[in-house]
């Protein structure tokens, strides 16, 4: 394995925590001679160099040239292969001061560490057999997860869920391959009739892989969030409801028509499902060019939303415009109609419309529940296995296509050579998911999407 964008063993350093002021920060190092190199900037160097793996050391980071203490830290020593990367490694817990962090990293670079590229630590972990490729991808998915549910789904993948599932399928296909190879090796034997090439395992594998492919759509939703947008006339209470979902006053609420001129976006979580919630400008006949532009943008958002929360001002009742939208969209699943201001309304709420009050909060939790079950039945348990990577989905699709070829050839009694070729392609595709079959391009591509320090 050569030709990676990075050297895979030289000493590297990166800040593993966020670049912002905090109580503590973690600076991570890994690679050849990490402990010795780090000892050159550490007050307690003699003890550190002798230390075993999994030990913690207290001391100061010192600038030897200027004979100056930089920070008070603890340093964790890992000895190969027992570390995240499988290499010798030191993690430094320092104070979370930006100038302090900068100084420490500069010092570490001065003694020979190179600044790590995105995902370099995890790439090393993969190359050293600490995890398979689907687990490496799960590391990035965990870091980026935006809701508890998304986090727990990614954790499933990290603990090897994808690997185990694929591996079980692969083993059966490998068995089949050996049966076929035996028959290919003894071409004189009678093949044809009911030769023992069991196609059950192929059918079963296709089924299992297709199930996994189907989880991608839902997996994606957990990753990217579902777009949910408010719509409705001005003053209906869209911004008030938006704030209620956020539990903060983000959007300006006012009795003046046309207050929200553009749209506002925020991440929320509804029953574990990450949602990108949009408050939009009320759709009304405006003449101010800024407001017109805001309305145009809002219409765009609403058009692309997975779920539209159409708010009706219950104190006024349905306007002609409301009625028009209700007749057009009331039957579908995409729009949910909300009858707001029930605290000020004595009108009968039409069927299929949710009565709420943004002011008193009445009806809100029912609304929330309805939205979450409306999000395409996504109330799945966090223990299910779902894939979240386009790369994995495409490989699964390639495997299924190849296995369908196998199935067809077996049914039509086409030569076993053709069967073997397709089967091999299927196995290769599955191997690429877990990284047993991989190229530098694939790896570079995957890991460049990571954050530095991971």
Quick one: which of 235, 372, 409, 434 contacts ligand GDP (CB under 6 A)? 235
Residue nearer to ligand GDP on the CB measure, 240 or 434: 240
* DSSP notation for 195-234: -S---HHHHHHHHHHHHHHHHHHHHHHHHH-EEEEEEEST
440 near ligand GDP (CB under 6 A): no
CB-based contact 227:261 (threshold 8 Å): no
Answer for the pair 91, 75: CB distance below 8 angstroms, yes or no. Answer: yes
Query: Binding partner of residue 208 among Mg ion, ligand GDP, none, CB under 5 to 8 Å per kind?
Result: none
Choose among 286, 431, 281, 307: nearest CA to 368: 307
Nearer to Mg ion, 51 or 260 (CB): 260
Q: To which H or E segment does residue 26 belong?
A: strand 22-30
> What is the token pair recorded at 255?
């009795």
Identify the CA nearest to 453 among candidates 8, 4, 13.
13
Residue 340 is a binding residue for ligand GDP (CB under 6 A): yes
Residue 298 binding ligand GDP, by CB under 6 A: no
CA distances from 241 to 250, 260, 314, 340 (A): 11, 13, 14, 9
**Which partner from the list Mg ion, ligand GDP, none does 415 bind, CB cut-off 5 to 8 Å by kind?**
none
Of 118 and 233, CB closest to ligand GDP: 233
Q: Phi and psi of 313, rounded to 5°?
A: -80, 105
Nearer of residues 10 and 344 to ligand GDP, judged by Cβ: 344
239 binds Mg ion (CB under 5 A): yes
**Is 142 within 8 Å of 151 (Cβ atoms)?**
yes
The one segment of 35-43, 144-152, 165-173, 232-240 that binds ligand GDP by CB under 6 A:
232-240
Among 41, 253, 318, 402, binds ligand GDP (CB under 6 A): 253
Q: Is the peptide bond before 74 cis (omega within 30 degrees of 0)?
A: no
Q: Which of 338, 374, 361 is nearest to 247 (CA)?
A: 361
Q: CB 338 → ligand GDP: shortest distance, Å?
A: 10
DSSP state, residue 9? S
Count of beta carbons in the 10 Å neighbourhood of residue 172: 16
Selection from Mg ion, ligand GDP, none that 85 binds (CB < 5 to 8 A by kind) is none
**Can you tell me the distance from the alpha carbon of 253 to that of 256, in angstroms, rounded to the nearest whole number?**
9
Query: Which of 10, 300, 344, 417 forms a contact with ligand GDP (CB under 6 A)?
Result: 344
CB of 230 to Mg ion, least distance (A): 8
E-only strand ranges, 221-372: 226-232, 264-270, 273-279, 307-313, 335-340, 353-355
Nearer to ligand GDP, 210 or 249 (CB): 249
Q: Of 232-240, 346-354, 374-382, 442-450, which part binds Mg ion (CB under 5 A)?
A: 232-240
Question: Between residue 11 and residue 30, which ones bind Mg ion under the rule CB under 5 A?
Answer: none
The residue among 11 and 237 lying less far from ligand GDP, judged by its C-beta, is 237
The least distance separating Mg ion from the CB of residue 309, rounded to whole angstroms, comes to 13
Site mask for ligand GDP (CB under 6 A), range 185-224, x = bound = ----------------------------------------
- Kindly list the residues in this chain that would bind ligand GDP in the complex (CB under 6 A): 234-240, 253-255, 259-260, 282, 340-341, 343-344, 357-359
Binding site for Mg ion (CB under 5 A): 238-239, 260
């Amino acid at each position: 394995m050569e030709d990676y964008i990075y050297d895979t063993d030289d000493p590297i350093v990166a800040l593993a925590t966020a670049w912002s002021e905090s109580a503590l920060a973690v600076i991570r190092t890994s690679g050849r001679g990490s402990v010795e190199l780090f000892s050159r900037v550490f007050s307690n160097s003699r003890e550190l160099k002798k230390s075993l793996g999994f030990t913690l050391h207290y001391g100061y980071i010192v600038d030897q040239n200027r004979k100056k203490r930089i920070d008070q830290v603890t340093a964790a020593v890992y000895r190969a292969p027992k570390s995240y990367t499988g290499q010798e490694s030191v993690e430094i817990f320092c104070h979370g001061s930006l100038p302090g962090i900068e100084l420490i990293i500069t010092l570490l670079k001065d003694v020979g560490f190179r600044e790590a590229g995105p995902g370099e630590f995890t790439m090393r972990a993969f190359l050293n057999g600490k995890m398979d490729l689907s687990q490496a991808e799960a590391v990035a998915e965990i870091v980026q997860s935006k809701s508890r549910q998304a986090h727990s789904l990614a954790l499933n993948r990290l603990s090897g869920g994808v690997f185990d599932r694929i591996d079980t399928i692969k083993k059966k296909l490998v068995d089949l391959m050996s049966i076929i190879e035996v028959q290919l090796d003894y071409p004189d034997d009678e093949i044809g009739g009911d030769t023992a090439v069991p196609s059950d395992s192929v059918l079963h594998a296709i089924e299992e892989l297709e199930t996994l492919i189907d989880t991608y759509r839902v997996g994606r939703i957990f990753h990217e969030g579902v777009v949910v947008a408010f719509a409705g006339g001005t003053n209906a209470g869209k911004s008030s409801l938006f704030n209620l979902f956020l539990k903060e006053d983000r959007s300006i609420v006012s009795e003046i028509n046309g207050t929200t001129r553009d749209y506002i976006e925020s991440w929320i979580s509804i029953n574990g499902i990450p949602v990108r919630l949009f408050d939009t400008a009320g759709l009304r006949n405006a003449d101010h060019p800024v407001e017109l532009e805001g309305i145009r943008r809002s219409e765009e958002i609403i058009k692309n939303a997975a779920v539209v929360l159409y708010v009706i001002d219950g104190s006024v009742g349905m306007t002609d415009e409301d009625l028009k939208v209700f007749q057009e969209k009331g039957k579908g699943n995409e729009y949910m109609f909300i009858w707001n201001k029930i605290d000020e309304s004595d009108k009968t709420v039409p069927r299929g419309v949710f009565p709420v009050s943004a002011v008193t909060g009445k009806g809100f939790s029912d609304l929330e529940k309805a939205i979450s079950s409306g999000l395409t039945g996504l109330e799945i348990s966090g223990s299910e296995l779902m894939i979240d990577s386009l790369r994995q989905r495409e490989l699964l699709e390639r495997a299924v296509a190849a296995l369908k070829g196998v199935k067809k050839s077996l049914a039509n009694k086409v030569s076993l050579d053709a069967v073997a070729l397709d089967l091999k392609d299927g196995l290769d595709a599955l191997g690429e998911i877990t990284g047993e079959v991989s190229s530098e391009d694939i790896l570079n591509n995957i890991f460049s999407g990571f954050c530095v320090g991971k």
